Amino acid sequence: SPWTYGEGIDAAPRWSPDGKSITFLSNRSGKMQVWLIPSEGGEARPLTRFTNGVNQHLFSPDGRFVAVLVSLKPDEPDLLANNPPREEKDAKEKKEDKPMIVDRLKYKSDDFGFRDEKLQYLYLVDVKTGESKRLTEGDESISSFTWAPDGKRIAFTANRASDPDRTWTSDLFILDMDTLHISKLTDQDGVFGSLAWSPDGKWIAALGHNLEYAGATLTKVWLFDPLTGEKRGVTENWDVDVEDEMIGDMHADAPAPGLVWATDGSGLYFRASREGNVSLFYTSLEGVITPVADGTFHMYGFSLDEAHQRAVLAVSRPTEIGDLYLLRLPTGEWKRLTNKNEELMSQLTLSTPEEFRFDAKDGWIIQGWLMKPVNFKPEEKYPLILEIHGGPHAMYGNTFFHEMQVLAAKGYAVLYTNPRGSHGYGQTFVNAVRGDYGGMDYEDLMAGVDEALRRFTFIDKDRLGVTGGSYGGFMTNWIVGHTNRFKAAVTQRSISNWMSFYGVSDIGYFFTEWEIGFPLFDNPEKLWEHSPLKYVKNVETPLLILHSERDYRCPIEQGEQLYVALKHLNKVTRFVRFPDSNHNLSRTGKPSLRIERLHHIVNWFGEYI
């Protein structure tokens, strides 16, 4: 049953060390603030009143304080927490129409919009009085922080480079709570986060990597000595990504649990992505890795009891949206705790995917899945939709995917695969797409379609469709410019022109070099060669273009260029622009727009396949 009630969003709950209270973030007063509620139930009370709300919070080991991460402009009032309380929702400032002055290279973000020069600060909040104290003097970005077990230090990661727009590293810092002195442990040699201090205080664990393969580098578990800064990789010899890399449209807002220390400090619990599954593992400090909860599922969250005898797991499967399970660690016994969608599921018929493997053109083994249409009859022929995930450094797998279930319910077989560039199959595999967009990744996808037609004879080879978003949108655009085997296509939040993407995307100026191999001014011919727009004259497939107005990752001009070119050439196309939405429309967008998006996809395929 619900623990809190009322309007707004309640999120990120934290147990107090004594278990008597719970803090959580809520926007019930306007901004996201920290609220406190007795663990036995009762009335919640606000603990903070920061000008722009709170981003993260964490109890001190003794439970007397909460460390919080907040964002403030340099000229804003320090905090409202020490002033008389006010209802923030009744004090909205009127925005004046003023030009935006831009001096920074990275001045916008798909997550936060245009940069407003806010810096991030750590504050200490007294749980009893609500009084606050500033601990740091403003950072470009703080991605993670953790308390030392004695409460005398806080470790945090931040980008304090002289030019943070050109530096992708995040260094590890130690804050002394008595003196507020900050010491730097690392020297711009990697990207690290999800910090966790060991129970004995000897190590700080982190997730991260050294950028050896830019954005395609596998995340590993690392240990840092808080006194010397010595770093060693715990899982560096394990060719598996230690993150949740699953692509889906139901769990994007699930909080990442990160790393959890064993009570005796002998090792760590963590999630990892491999071959279409996200599972729970344990590693000793020497790097001996043991599966804890490994299976055919997507474990998108976990929590351990104090004695680490029991774990609560948040699990999704292709026919299960997501529920909680109790795992007894000594015996491996599972028990289902929730069945929140039981009534809904009793009214639906879902499709269970069939996993298969196939040979790529060059002999690599590729993993894929095929969902049969709902109410499948073996004697009938069915159209097929190829789905292509974004990233490209992500993976499809054994999780609930609403969009695919909708297509299966409408009578389509649905094919989805993990071509090279995907996570889940090791460093060489995930790195292979870099510099080769539209090359062997395209061949992998076509080989997947060929294998599906060979293996599943009920598929009508003359009624094929294709869709994908982000990188999947790029690949959809690429496909229709290189083959006419598909009768209809839907491209979503896509890339059509790498040359303009370089300058308009919030990540364009470095992502083009990371993924294609060159920035615009070094080799524009290379960027154009890999741009689907170059091949627009070849397109004969009816193409629906879906794009969000506030997409700063793959900005809407990418869709505009493609639409205008197709229309100018008298090709069959349509352009749908979604208001007040960013790159994550399909995952975290307004529900009404997410539904309308699905209607457009279904109707387009229905008209042309």
Read off the pLDDT of residues 526-557 as tens digits, 9 standing for 90 and up.
999 999 999 999 999 999 999 999 999 999 99
Q: What SS3 string covers 341-372?
A: CHHHHHCCCCCCCEEEEEECCCCCEEEEEEEC
Rounded Cα distance between 574 and 572, Å, is: 7
**Which pTM value belongs to this model?**
0.95
Parallel/antiparallel/unpaired status of strands 204-209 and 191-197: antiparallel
Q: What's residue 92's pLDDT? A: 46
Over residues 313-325, the pLDDT tens digits come to 999 999 999 999 9
Q: 313 exposed, middle or buried (CB, 10 Å; 0-12, 13-18, 19+)?
A: buried
Q: How many domains does the chain have?
A: 1
DSSP one-letter code for 112? T
Mean pLDDT across 366-393:
98
Over residues 274-304, the pLDDT tens digits come to 999 999 999 999 999 999 999 999 999 999 9
470 a catalytic residue: yes
Residue 377 located in a structural domain: yes
Q: What's residue 4's pLDDT? A: 76
Residue 174 located in a structural domain: no
Rounded Cα distance between 296 and 59, Å, is: 35
Residue 89 located in a structural domain: no
* CA proximity to 86, closest of 57, 46, 120: 46
Percent of the chain with pLDDT over 90: 84
Q: Which of 57, 389, 423, 583 is catalytic?
A: 583
DSSP labels for 199-230?
TTSS-EEEEEE--TTGGGPPPEEEEE-TTT--
Name residue 413's amino acid: A
Element (H, E) at 124: strand 119-126
Rounded Cα distance between 220 and 222, Å, is: 6
Cβ atoms of 63 and 18 closer than 8 Å: yes
3-state class (DSSP) for residue 592: helix
Over residues 565-602, the pLDDT tens digits come to 999 999 999 999 999 999 999 999 999 999 999 999 99
Residue 446 located in a structural domain: yes
Element (H, E) at 86: none
- The strand ranges marked E within 231-297 are 231-233, 260-261, 267-274, 277-284, 289-293
Rounded Cα distance between 207 and 424, Å, is: 17
Rounded Cα distance between 300 and 13, Å, is: 16
Tell me the residue length of the chain.
609
* CA proximity to 413, closest of 424, 405, 421, 423: 405
CA 9 to chain centre: 20
Q: What's residue 90's pLDDT? A: 44
583 a catalytic residue: yes
Torsions phi, psi of 423, nearest 5? -80, 165
* CA proximity to 32, closest of 16, 14, 47: 47
**Domain hosting residue 451, numbered range:** 353-496+531-608
Confidence of residue 80 (pLDDT cuts 50, 70, 90): low
Q: How many CB atoms lie within 10 A of CB 495?
A: 31
Q: What is the CATH number of the domain that holds 441?
A: 3.40.50.1820
Q: Which of 71, 273, 470, 494 is catalytic?
A: 470
Over residues 169-202, the pLDDT tens digits come to 889 999 999 999 999 998 888 999 999 999 999 9
- Does residue 426 have a pLDDT over 70? yes
Rounded Cα distance between 526 and 437, Å, is: 11
Residue 154 located in a structural domain: no
Residue 211 located in a structural domain: no
Q: Which two tokens stand for residue 205?
A: 């664990």
CA distance to 33, 44, 91, 213, 558, per residue, from 26 (Å): 6, 10, 17, 38, 36
Residue 231 located in a structural domain: no
Rounded Cα distance between 394 and 381, Å, is: 32
Torsions phi, psi of 98, nearest 5? -135, 150
Residue 437 located in a structural domain: yes
- Does residue 85 have a pLDDT over 50? no
Rounded Cα distance between 129 and 118, Å, is: 27
Token pair 């560096």: residue: 236
Rounded Cα distance between 380 and 384, Å, is: 13
Q: What's residue 82's pLDDT? A: 46
